[in-house]
Structure 1
Amino acid sequence: MRLIVKFKWLIAAIILMLTAILSVCSPNLTELANQKGQSQLPVDSMSERAKDILKSAGEDHQTISVVFKLDQSLRHEKLVKVIDQIKKIAGVKGITSPFDKETRDQLISKDQKTVLLPVMVEGSDQQVEKIADNIYKMVPDELTAYITGASLINRDFAHSSEEGLKKTEIITVFLIVGLLLVVFRSIVTPFIPMITVGFSYLISQSLLAILVEHIDFPISTFTQTFLVAILFGIGTDYCILLLTRFREELANGHDRIESTLIAYRTAGKTLFISGFAVLIGFFALGFAKFAVFQSAVGVAVGVGVLMLVLYTLLPLFMVTLGEKLFWPSKKVFSHGDNRLWSFLGKQSVARPFLFIIITAVMTVPFILTYDDQISFDSTSEISSSYKSVKGIKAIKEGIGEGKAFPVSIVIKGENKLTTADTIPFLGNLSQAIEKVEHVDSVMTITQPTGKKMDDLYIDHQLRAVSDGLEKTTKGLDDAQSGLTTVEEGLRKIIGQVASSATSHSGSSLADAAKALGKINRQLGIVSKQMAQTGNVSEAVPQLTVISGQLVKIQSSLQQVNQQFAGQQKQAGTLKNYLGQLAGGVKSAKAGLVKIADGMTKSRQILKEMSESKNLNDTGIFIPQQVMENKDFQKSIDHYSFSDGKGVQLSVGLDINPYSEQAITTINEIKKSVADEVIGTPLKNATIMYGGVTSQNADLKDISTTDLSRTMIIMVVGLFFVLSILFRSMMMPIYMLASLFVTYYTAVSITEFIFVQISGDDGISWAVPFFSFVILIALGIDYSIFLLDRFKEEIHLGISRGIVRSMSKMGSVIMTAAIILAGTFAAMMPSGVNTLMQVATVVIIGLLLYGLIILPILIPSVIISFGEGNWWPFSRKKE
């Protein structure tokens, strides 16, 4: 430290020059946070793997929803014109028209006043935002439209965080300056921490930007806000600790240099321990899997820079200004003993058990009532004034937001999945998913509009065949009846012809009548067989023979008809009548041919059904003619990829896709799918789930796992370091235990405020993680402040030592806790729900710890353990 004091001006010049160079040369951290700071899940998460499968197949587009709110008088022609213009925008890959017969019910509300237009786009979130801006420009003034989608919600969240950061920076500076003016009653003192921490923040911000730009250092939209709050909070606390000790040594008669050296030798050691503990806390975040959680490691970079600046730049002000640093105040608060803490210390030492009970009464009820209600609704993170949120609200009111944010099931196999043998299993899979509660519809190849295609199901097909056979039997009966009429007509003609000279003609007519009688008997037999057995295989060849016989009869009648030409008037009348009978035979023959053809097709379908391998398993049969149908092929193309080796199912929900209930639903869908594919061609396929609900399900799993992992790593790291520094394992145990009590009490109160009072679905998913890390990392500082001073005063004995430590450190800790709480209070006007909730947990926790836990619980525990405080080591004797 003497070397630093000696070269203080050179060091100050280096810091100033380094700050200037980094500020000019480094990229903009805010812009990098917007570009790279989205909530990117780990690559092995299910929703990310679904994205990768589609991306590798060239299907990595996403869908945004344009929501039109219509007046009754508005004509759809205007919408059609807007839709045509949207199709021409760069980046738009396709549009699902709401006016098609198949999609109308899905995309237009029942009152016809809300129209949902799904637009497929490609590109980054920033590019999608530009596409949305271009769409807004094309919407006429008389038409109300909102555009929403996961990308747009992410962008609005980034904008909201950026605006919140600006507010936080300004409020933090004014708040800290104001508090320091009150605390130190000095015009000069408040600006020393501001300058010191300000340089730390500028350097840290620039270094982080360089790391993010060149080595993909993790960053999120939260990073800068936490960096501001924590650096200015603990930086001010550390400055208070050093300046208070500096002022104390000046009052003891030491000169500026000696007072600075003593302050750093005593309070500086405490500062080092505290800063090191904070570094461990935030460094532990590097072991998290989720990039958003990892991004808080940037705070560790800031703390490291802060420590360097505190040990290099702050001594310059102390040595240079001396007593003037506290001008115009002659005294400073921390020079005297803190009466409140002194009183509480004496009472805790005298009645330790009572004060432990009092602490339990104040905290345990909150801990026991904590429900761990978590919300994954990113739309609640930002103001309802954003258009993406207004779009969600419009969809919810008119159609249902589950249709705008469906669950995407991506299935990828080694072999082709779009064959007539495999597609039926998609139908079964869809039916199984539809049975899950809160599933509204499933769209895939077999039901492209969300409703199953009845023509594909065996029960419907068999009914159609049965109906056809009934019609065939009736047709045979009709043909038999018609031919009977023809036969009777021929016999009448034969009677008339017998008395005429055309005996040869009469003989021919008699033969035809005889043949018709035989045919009628054959038709009767066929009709009876069909009615009884439905045996198509036997009926078809019989009908073919009968048709051939009718051809001969028709030819015979036509010959006789020609023989009547030119004869008497009666013969002319017979000729006309005979022509009608010949026409009847011809019609009967044509009808039988059609019946035979229909029966042949039915026989072919029944044969294909009998040869189908999976008909019994699925109840679905897809004839070859259906596979070749253009509309069905269009459905296959729309819901398949990778040349048919991959297929998709789109599952619409009837609940908020961001809700906890939706996460439960998708977990049920996963179970249903896993059970349904057993023993099917899909059993070995890769099945992944995409969409916001799937992302939130992954988010829930990863956030829970990361919180548990980080808790363990952070606690073990702090325990190890504190055990070495205090030469005790017992002290770290109750230090950390007291912070756990503080955290769960604070988060329980926060849950009550935001859920029970404000009506939120739960506290944001990121709050438990960030608030735990911040509260433990910062709260440990105050216990270190107290117990490190206790080490100095232990020569007085345990009871007197802890009371004296509390008297000396009480004002420092209380002031530090209030200032740090104030810096987090500056996050409240940000408008970002997560930041407000984290701030609430930290504020409640710091005030609870600094004003209740430390002055009441810790002294009681120390007295209760006695010499056991240094277990398993022995206390170092002075």
Structure 2
Amino acid sequence: MTERFIRGLARAKWLILLGWLAIAAISMLALPDLGSIVRQTEQKFIPTDSESVVAKSMLDRINPESTTKSSAILVYSRDGGLTDEDRTWLKAKAAELAGLSGKDGFKSVQSAYGTPELASKFRSQDGTTEMILVGFSGTDNDALTQDAVDSLNERIQGSPAGSKVELTGSAPIGKDFQQSSSDGLKKTELLTVGLVLVILLIVFRSPVAPFIPLITIGISLVITRGLVAAATYWGMPVSSFTESFLIAVMFGAGTDYCILLIQRFREELSRDGDKVEALVRTVRTVGKTVAFSASTVFVAFFLIGFAQFGLYQSAAGVSIGVAVTLIAGLTLTPALLMAFGQATFWPSKIASGQGHGDSKLWGSMAALAARRPVAILLVTVILLAPLTLLYHNKRSFDDLAEISPKLGSVQGFRQVERSFGSGEVFPLSVAITSDASMRTPEALAAMETASASLASLSGVKEVRSAVRPLGAQLADLTVSGQLTQTSQALQQLKDGVDKVAGGLRDAEASVAGGQGDVDKLASGLRTMASKTKEAQTGLNQIHGGLQQASKGAGQLAGGLSQSAAVSSSLRTDLDALLKSHPELKDEAAMKQLLGKLQALERSLKQLEGGADRLSASFSQLNPGVSKAAGGLGQLAAGQTDAAEGAAKLGGGLKELTSGLSAGAGGLGDVSKGLTQVKEATASIGDSQIPGWNLPQSALDSPELQQALDYYISADGKTAKLDVVLAVNPYSPEAQDTVGRIRDALRASLSGSSLANAKVYLSGTSAQITELKAISKSDFVRTGAFVLIGIFIVLLIMLRSILAPLYLLLSLGFNFLVTMGIVEFIFVKLLGKEGLSWSASFFIFLIIVALGVDYSIFLMARFKEEYRPGGITHAMTKAMSTTGGVIVSAAIIMGGTFAALMMSGVNTLLQIGAGIVIGLILYAFVFMGLVVPALANLFGEANWWPFRRVQKEATGRAANRDRSLQPADGTE
């Protein structure tokens, strides 16, 4: 900044102050509110082209009218089991909520009372817990959804005494997270202002000086909030972290810049007491330092905007705050210094030649670094390097760990986890797309095979699909189930035949006994008539049984045909594989597979033999039935002859006896045939070959059509599977299970009619696996951008390549040490599963971006004091004069981020702890010992390869010598 411009600032001090106040007022009145925008913004920031987002979009097309964008689960529980009073209350509440569907953000309600066939899904097996699922038309952060959650909270009040009612699910959890963040932000603001005020009072020992940075930063923050909110209309993402980081960075860095200006102003004011000249010298010297310091922070946060991950990008808004703070620091702060003058330091008085004083502690550390630079470096590495080994980058993706476990949404989740399993709250959804309709028997058979494959995986509780709407296999559509039905029908048929044969034998005995006695004959005829009716009843049973047997044989044929087709396809694929890869013939796994295939073929042959016996049995059965019918005809003729008179009684009785004998013999043949059929069916069942057969009649049934409409789109080209995990959806086990599900599903479909179908996974666990990969790659990519950007700024400021390199290396080493300490505290000591997944990124960003400020403070003064051959003197002077400023800045910066630890949000707690540890460690250990030791060790090479620094230093030395000469030229 030119001297003329600085003097202009001094003259226009009141105009500048009024101008900043006017801009702040306009920002508050005309620009949008940042807090409202953050509350309505989705916090996951999954890229739109990610698998889970694509899957969710596809699933929304299946049944748009019933698809919900967020949900809440009403969790009702009572220790010892629910009572009739509880169920009455729940039934009335379910009906009340069902009446809200389509109103005020409510879209659907599912409960044990609205859908009785799903009652087992909403009631725990131990009888202690019941759920009601409420769907909303908007997303979790939508204002209408949040209002609906509030309304739902009001409606669940007044439950029977002794019961517990909580709301959990995506919408209530999201609301509690937002509320916790908002409450934490308010606490952070108050704590930050209070800490900064106390620290400034201690640093300046004046009640006036602290108000200069507070006014500067307060006005800058008001303006920045409006500008960041307005930037969202141009695509800048914001999150709950944006506001927290704005407060911490602007108060921390802004106060540091103000301290540097105020301390230097005090030093310059002590020379001659002229506040204008003191301001000119202050801004001309440390103004550049402030500009370069702010530039590194600005560059770091600006480059975050090039991250691919939206949550990381949301920190880019801090760059706007840094830019506003820099402008305010170079205009508003000088204006305030001019307005207050020497009163800034009241009650202290600034006498001529009285500066802020040099730091004896930092002077001593500078002398030690000059005498023993190698020893300091070795000791530092030996002591700190082991701490880096504590850092294993263990990360946690548990959203519930972010907020207090006492909140209702967390307690509701834990109750569901205990009674149903946590997978019920956040199931995994799979979208399957195909070019052809999947509403066909072949496609549904493939879907059943895929469902069975997923259900067998460890970590999976159950799979729900069009063919498994309740999570279990439909037994009526399996070959084994259909064989069971056929076996039962054959058994009924045989029982009927045996019953008829027994009746005929009894009738034959009665007729034979009646030939010698008319009375016995009459009695025998009556018995015969009764047995004939029983025979007729038995034949009716035979008729019904034959119909069931015929239907079962048809279903059996379909299942055998499907099994044969699967075996043939498998054998063809295996032959093709061995032909293209002959080396696989000797593999143990391939030999095992060939053995299983041969066993399968033998079983199929057994099936074919059983089917042949079944056919032969029916062939034998038909003549027997015909013979039985003939015998009954003769029986009827005999009864007619007996009725004509006693004259023909003898002959009639003989014919009757003959007919009964023929009938009994025919039915005996029928019984033998049924025994053969049953043996054939048993041999098929003993083969244990799985199969699935969907008759057209079952496909057209209303029950299956209802399931198809829920799980498959109208055109049949999109289908979904809901996978309920047996593990916590936030856990590492769930992330591993997602990978196994994807692999198993694709492998299962590859050999079916859906071989060309595409598979996409959605849901909490699927998003976490994507977050893990995206955040890790973005950390490396964006971190490299930040380091390169800061290196360029340091290169321009110091005009050296070597110095920026060892400064960045010291920052990197400091980050690893810090993360080792932080992970040890939270994971080893406090028992956390891992650090919050975003904590390491933001700790790195802020430690590097803000820690480099202390390097700039020191190295800028080092460069200013440098004279050729005077490396040690220059570093000693720089450390003794800026040491106090660095300590004050580190304490203030640490204090502002320590306030984040009181926010109630786990991630901010870890970030705050990491930054406090990192900045204090860097300020005292690295800036006090390591960097000075490196500067002394490299000597004149600090300015390599630029020689202009030495020339400028020579010029400064000459000017200083001339300024020390008396005005009359005498010595």
Q: Same fold (TM over 0.5)?
A: yes
Give the letter aligned to residue 144 of structure 1. K
Residues of 2 paired with 1:819 and 1:849: CA distance? 14
CA offsets 1:188-234 (integer angstroms, 9 cap, x no match): 1000100011110000011112222x323210011111101110111
1:360 aligns with 2:358: no
CA offsets 1:66-86 (integer angstroms, 9 cap, x no match): 211125462133322222222
For residue 866 of structure 2, give the secondary structure of its aligned residue in structure 1. helix
1:704 aligns with 2:724: no
Higher mean alpha-carbon deviation, 87-96 vs 747-756, is at: 87-96
Residues of 2 paired with 1:754 and 1:334: CA distance? 44
1:344 aligns with 2:365: yes
Residue 188 of structure 1, aligned match among 186, 192, 208: 208
Residue 425 of structure 1, aligned match among 446, 459, 479: 446
CA offsets 1:389-432 (integer angstroms, 9 cap, x no match): 11012112222212222211221222122321122222222232
Q: Matches of residues 316-355 of structure 1 in structure 2 within 5 Å?
A: 316-330=335-349, 335-355=356-376
Residue 75 of structure 2, aligned match among 67, 74, 83: 67
For residue 950 of structure 2, give the secondary structure of its aligned residue in structure 1. coil
The Cα RMSD (Å) is: 3.6
What is the CA-CA distance between 1:694 and the residue it aligns to?
Answer: 1.2
Residues of 1 paired with 2:841 and 2:47: CA distance? 17
Higher mean alpha-carbon deviation, 4-13 vs 824-833, is at: 4-13
1:289 aligns with 2:297: no
Is the 8 Å Cα contact of residues 642 and 648 (structure 2) preserved in structure 1?
no
1:660 aligns with 2:732: yes
1:876 aligns with 2:950: yes
Residue 146 of structure 2, aligned match among 112, 115, 129: 129
Is the 8 Å Cα contact of residues 98 and 117 (structure 1) preserved in structure 2?
no
The aligned residue for residue 513 of structure 1 is none
For residue 750 of structure 2, give the secondary structure of its aligned residue in structure 1. coil
Residues of 2 paired with 1:243 and 1:735: CA distance? 26
Give the letter aligned to residue 157 of structure 1. F
For residue 876 of structure 1, give the secondary structure of its aligned residue in structure 2. helix
Residue 411 of structure 1, aligned match among 432, 444, 451: 432
Alpha-carbon spacing, 1:491–1:226, altered in 2? closer, same or farther (3 Å): same
Give the letter aligned to residue 224 of structure 2. S
The aligned residue for residue 83 of structure 1 is 94
TM-score normalized with structure 1 length:
0.87
Is the 8 Å Cα contact of residues 862 and 875 (structure 2) preserved in structure 1?
yes
What is the CA-CA distance between 1:771 and the residue it aligns to?
Answer: 1.2
Alpha-carbon spacing, 1:477–1:583, altered in 2? closer, same or farther (3 Å): closer
Alpha-carbon spacing, 1:573–1:86, altered in 2? closer, same or farther (3 Å): farther
CA offsets 1:635-671 (integer angstroms, 9 cap, x no match): 3333323433222222222222112222122222222
For residue 127 of structure 2, give the secondary structure of its aligned residue in structure 1. coil
The aligned residue for residue 313 of structure 1 is 332
The aligned residue for residue 505 of structure 1 is none
What is the CA-CA distance between 1:362 and the residue it aligns to?
Answer: 3.5
Alpha-carbon spacing, 1:426–1:194, altered in 2? closer, same or farther (3 Å): same
Residues of 1 paired with 2:332 and 2:42: CA distance? 32
Is the 8 Å Cα contact of residues 51 and 60 (structure 1) preserved in structure 2?
no
1:176 aligns with 2:196: yes
1:54 aligns with 2:75: no
1:279 aligns with 2:283: no
CA offsets 1:60-102 (integer angstroms, 9 cap, x no match): 5444322111254621333222222222223232404289776
Residue 129 of structure 2, aligned match among 95, 109, 114: 114
Residues of 1 paired with 2:109 and 2:645: CA distance? 76
Task: In structure 1, list runs of 5 or more residues that go unmatched.
Answer: 501-525, 610-614
CA offsets 1:275-329 (integer angstroms, 9 cap, x no match): 1111110011111122111111110011111111112211211223221111112
The aligned residue for residue 850 of structure 1 is 923
Q: Matches of residues 236-635 of structure 1 in structure 2 within 5 Å?
A: 236-253=255-272, 255-330=274-349, 335-462=356-483, 464-465=485-486, 534-540=612-618, 543-544=621-622, 547=625, 551=629, 554-555=632-633, 557-565=635-643, 567-568=645-646, 619-635=691-707
Higher mean alpha-carbon deviation, 102-111 vs 719-728, is at: 102-111
Residues of 2 paired with 1:580 and 1:133: CA distance? 88
Residue 186 of structure 2, aligned match among 153, 166, 169: 166
Residues of 2 paired with 1:169 and 1:577: CA distance? 112
Is the 8 Å Cα contact of residues 554 and 582 (structure 1) preserved in structure 2?
yes
Alpha-carbon spacing, 1:86–1:216, altered in 2? closer, same or farther (3 Å): same
The aligned residue for residue 228 of structure 2 is 208
What is the CA-CA distance between 1:330 and the residue it aligns to?
Answer: 2.4
The aligned residue for residue 826 of structure 2 is 754
Is the 8 Å Cα contact of residues 641 and 648 (structure 2) preserved in structure 1?
no
Alpha-carbon spacing, 1:735–1:720, altered in 2? closer, same or farther (3 Å): same
Residues of 2 paired with 1:560 and 1:197: CA distance? 119
Task: In structure 2, list runs of 5 or more residues that go unmatched.
Answer: 522-548, 550-607, 955-971
Give the letter aligned to residue 221 of structure 2. Y
Is the 8 Å Cα contact of residues 473 and 531 (structure 1) preserved in structure 2?
no
Is the 8 Å Cα contact of residues 489 and 581 (structure 1) preserved in structure 2?
no
Residues of 2 paired with 1:712 and 1:473: CA distance? 82
Give the letter aligned to residue 312 of structure 1. T
Residues of 2 paired with 1:194 and 1:579: CA distance? 121
Is the 8 Å Cα contact of residues 168 and 830 (structure 1) preserved in structure 2?
yes
Alpha-carbon spacing, 1:331–1:438, altered in 2? closer, same or farther (3 Å): farther
TM-score normalized with structure 2 length:
0.79
Give the letter aligned to residue 740 of structure 2. E
Residue 800 of structure 2, aligned match among 728, 752, 777: 728
For residue 312 of structure 2, give the secondary structure of its aligned residue in structure 1. helix
1:672 aligns with 2:677: no
Residues of 1 paired with 2:773 and 2:714: CA distance? 30
CA offsets 1:34-53 (integer angstroms, 9 cap, x no match): 00252221112222111111
Alpha-carbon spacing, 1:725–1:289, altered in 2? closer, same or farther (3 Å): same
Residue 841 of structure 2, aligned match among 764, 769, 773: 769
1:867 aligns with 2:940: yes
1:234 aligns with 2:253: yes
Residues of 2 paired with 1:476 and 1:565: CA distance? 28
Higher mean alpha-carbon deviation, 481-490 vs 831-840, is at: 481-490
The aligned residue for residue 886 of structure 2 is 813
For residue 641 of structure 1, give the secondary structure of its aligned residue in structure 2. coil
For residue 867 of structure 2, give the secondary structure of its aligned residue in structure 1. helix
What is the CA-CA distance between 1:830 and the residue it aligns to?
Answer: 0.9
Is the 8 Å Cα contact of residues 395 and 834 (structure 2) preserved in structure 1?
yes
Residues of 2 paired with 1:390 and 1:746: CA distance? 34
Residues of 2 paired with 1:215 and 1:531: CA distance? 74
Is the 8 Å Cα contact of residues 94 and 111 (structure 2) preserved in structure 1?
no
Is the 8 Å Cα contact of residues 735 and 783 (structure 1) preserved in structure 2?
yes
What is the CA-CA distance between 1:473 and the residue it aligns to?
Answer: 6.3
The aligned residue for residue 141 of structure 1 is 159
Alpha-carbon spacing, 1:475–1:562, altered in 2? closer, same or farther (3 Å): closer
Higher mean alpha-carbon deviation, 231-240 vs 61-70, is at: 61-70
1:41 aligns with 2:33: no
For residue 295 of structure 1, give the secondary structure of its aligned residue in structure 2. helix
Alpha-carbon spacing, 1:637–1:569, altered in 2? closer, same or farther (3 Å): farther
Identity %: 34
CA offsets 1:146-184 (integer angstroms, 9 cap, x no match): 111122211111111001111111111111111111110
Is the 8 Å Cα contact of residues 381 and 832 (structure 1) preserved in structure 2?
yes
Higher mean alpha-carbon deviation, 821-830 vs 456-465, is at: 456-465
Alpha-carbon spacing, 1:19–1:54, altered in 2? closer, same or farther (3 Å): same
Is the 8 Å Cα contact of residues 410 and 689 (structure 1) preserved in structure 2?
yes
Is the 8 Å Cα contact of residues 261 and 283 (structure 2) preserved in structure 1?
yes
The aligned residue for residue 154 of structure 1 is 174
